């Protein structure tokens, strides 16, 4: 039996049942816990007979151990959320895990291998906020994000860094997440968020992906553009610099000499142009020294809410992403998964699946 995901799933179930490796060794009839350890790390394969024992003794279904379209005990998530309880968050994580696991299983079969090397920023918890901002500026310049970096960020992450970006419908209060697998990095973004928040979440989660080994993020963090623990503050400074490089901001004029009454209007207009929130722009200018802290505090949050509008403009991106749908389409077209199975994995009807292919400009498989 393949050990790549069976071992981690046995470990996850053992920990859920609060069993030790010695307990599991006795259950399987092994002489010592070293055999259990080797199974859980994937060094030793599970025999068919041992898998039957696992199903019977641990009270889990065979699919739990063998279904490639499940993500159990493998992915590590870091969620940006506001007032979402652990139970709801874990339930949504299981749903999101199905989409990620489907891509992980199917992509190599249709020639979309994960990159061999992962990029890293070279930052650590002791890095200065200025270091994070400099890294964000360098990122925007190296990948030529242009005058409005937000417009190209997701494309660069997917096409050049091999990071899967999925726009999803999530519970109210969930902004997004970063997910690390041994062979894949994923960022989830709640597509119902306002456009400026979506872009900030995307850049923030990019920081976590690029610094995961040096400073693994918490499983859950409060979604905010300022504050938080040191890792989150570093992430916020990086995200602000990626989306709002200093040279671009200086092109809007001398912020320090703008009359106080004009500042909210200019902030809202510039934020709209850059597809960010006016609040994030204000604190980015303060961090750069273009605005004095007192001037920033003098601009009320109410004046910047929704970038100065009475209501939020609803501009919602399509579900998931084009690279994701390309992989799903190829798998259906090559007969690796049925259209009905693909639709079920994505929580869609077959008709909705066909419409989503069209929305992303992906050729619909013959099966549809």
Q: What is the CATH number of the domain that holds 50?
A: 1.10.260.40
Q: 40-66 pLDDT, tens per residue? A: 888 899 998 999 998 988 888 998 888
Q: What is the pLDDT of residue 2?
A: 54
Q: First and final CA of the chain: distance in angstroms?
A: 33
| Amino acid 313: pLDDT | 65
Pair 263, 279 in one domain: yes
pLDDT at 133: 97
The residues facing 165 across adjacent strands are: 187
Query: Taking Cα atoms as reference points, which of 306, 213, 316 lies closest to residue 268?
Result: 306
Task: Evaluate whether residue 281 is within a structural domain.
Answer: yes
Instruction: Tell whether 114 and 263 lie within a shared domain.
Output: no
Q: Is 31 in a helix, a strand, or coil?
A: coil
Residue 185: which H helix or E strand, with range? strand 184-190
Record the tokens describing residue 330, joined without a space: 């190829």
Task: Flag whether 345 is in a domain.
Answer: yes
Decide if 269 is inside a domain: yes
Structural domain contains residue 271: yes
Backbone angles phi, psi at 188, to 5 degrees: -105, 135
Statement to judge: residues 38 and 117 lie in one domain: no
Residue 366, in any domain of the structure: no
Please name the residues in contact with 344: beta carbons below 8 A apart, sequence gap of 6 or more.
none
Say yes or no: 158 and 14 in one domain: no
Give pLDDT tens digits along the chain (368 positions): 455 778 888 998 898 889 999 999 999 999 989 999 999 888 899 998 999 998 988 888 998 888 888 888 788 999 999 989 888 998 899 899 999 999 999 999 999 988 888 999 999 999 999 999 999 999 999 999 999 999 999 999 999 999 999 999 998 899 999 999 988 999 999 999 999 999 999 999 999 999 999 999 999 888 777 777 899 999 999 999 999 999 999 999 999 999 888 999 999 999 999 999 999 999 999 999 999 999 999 998 899 988 888 777 668 999 999 999 999 999 999 999 999 999 999 999 999 999 999 999 999 887 66
Shared-domain flag, residues 114 and 200: yes
| Same domain, residue pair 205 and 125 | yes
In a domain, 313, yes or no: no
Full residue range of the structural domain in which residue 295 is found: 246-308
> Could you give the number of structural domains in the chain?
4
Last residue of a domain, one of 243, 263, 280: 243
Q: What is the pLDDT of residue 130?
A: 96
* Judgement on whether residues 226 and 81 belong to the same structural domain of the protein: yes
CATH number, residue 151: 1.10.10.2910
Q: Does residue 315 lie in a domain region?
A: no
Q: Are residues 143 and 236 in the same domain?
A: yes
Point out the domain boundary residue: 243, 259, 293. 243
Looking at the structure, tell me whether residues 216 and 349 fall in a common domain.
no
**Please, what is the Cα angle at 195 between 300 and 280, to 5 degrees?**
35
User: Other C-beta atoms within 10 Å of 309: how many?
Assistant: 11
Same domain, 227 and 250: no
Question: Is residue 109 helix, strand or coil?
Answer: helix
d(CA 368, CA 364): 7
pLDDT per position as a tens digit, 175-223: 999 999 988 999 999 999 999 999 999 999 999 999 999 999 999 888 7
Within this chain, do residues 62 and 100 fall inside the same structural domain, yes or no?
A: no
Domain assignment present for residue 56? The answer is: yes
Same domain for 108 and 203: yes
Q: Which of 243, 258, 282 is the last residue of a domain?
A: 243
């Amino acid at each position: 039996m393949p050990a790549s995901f069976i071992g981690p799933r046995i470990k996850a179930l053992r920990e859920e049942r609060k069993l030790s490796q010695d307990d599991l060794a006795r259950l399987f009839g092994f002489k010592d816990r070293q055999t259990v350890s080797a199974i859980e790390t994937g060094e030793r394969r599970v025999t068919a007979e041992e898998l039957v024992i696992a199903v019977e003794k641990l009270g889990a279904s065979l699919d739990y151990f063998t279904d490639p379209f499940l993500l159990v005990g493998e992915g590590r998530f870091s969620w940006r959320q506001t007032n979402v309880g652990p139970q709801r968050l874990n339930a949504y994580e299981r749903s999101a895990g199905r989409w990620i696991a489907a891509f992980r299983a199917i992509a190599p079969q249709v020639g979309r291998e994960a990159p061999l090397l992962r990029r890293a920023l070279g930052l650590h918890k002791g890095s200065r906020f200025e270091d994070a901002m400099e890294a964000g500026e360098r990122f925007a310049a190296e990948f030529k994000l242009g005058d409005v970096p937000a417009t190209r960020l997701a494309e660069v992450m997917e096409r050049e860094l091999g990071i899967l970006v999925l726009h999803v419908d999530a519970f109210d209060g969930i902004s997004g997440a970063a997910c690390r697998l041994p062979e894949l990095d994923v960022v989830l973004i709640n597509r119902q968020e306002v456009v400026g928040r979506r872009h900030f979440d995307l850049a923030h989660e990019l920081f976590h992906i690029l610094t995961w080994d040096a400073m693994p993020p918490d499983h859950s963090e409060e979604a905010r553009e300022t504050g938080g623990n040191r890792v989150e503050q570093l992430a916020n400074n990086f995200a602000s610099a990626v989306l709002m490089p200093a040279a671009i901001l200086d092109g809007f004029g001398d912020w320090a000499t703008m009359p106080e009454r004009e500042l909210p209007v200019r902030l809202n207009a510039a934020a709209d142009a850059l597809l960010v929130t006016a609040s994030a722009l204000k604190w980015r200018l303060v961090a750069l020294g273009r605005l004095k802290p007192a001037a920033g505090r003098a601009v009320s949050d109410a004046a910047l809410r929704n970038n100065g509008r009475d209501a939020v403009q609803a501009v919602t991106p399509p579900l998931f992403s084009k690279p994701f749908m390309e992989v799903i389409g190829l798998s259906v077209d090559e007969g690796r998964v049925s259209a009905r199975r693909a639709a079920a994995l994505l929580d869609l009807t077959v008709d909705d699946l066909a419409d989503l292919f069209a929305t992303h400009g992906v050729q619909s498989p013959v099966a549809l």
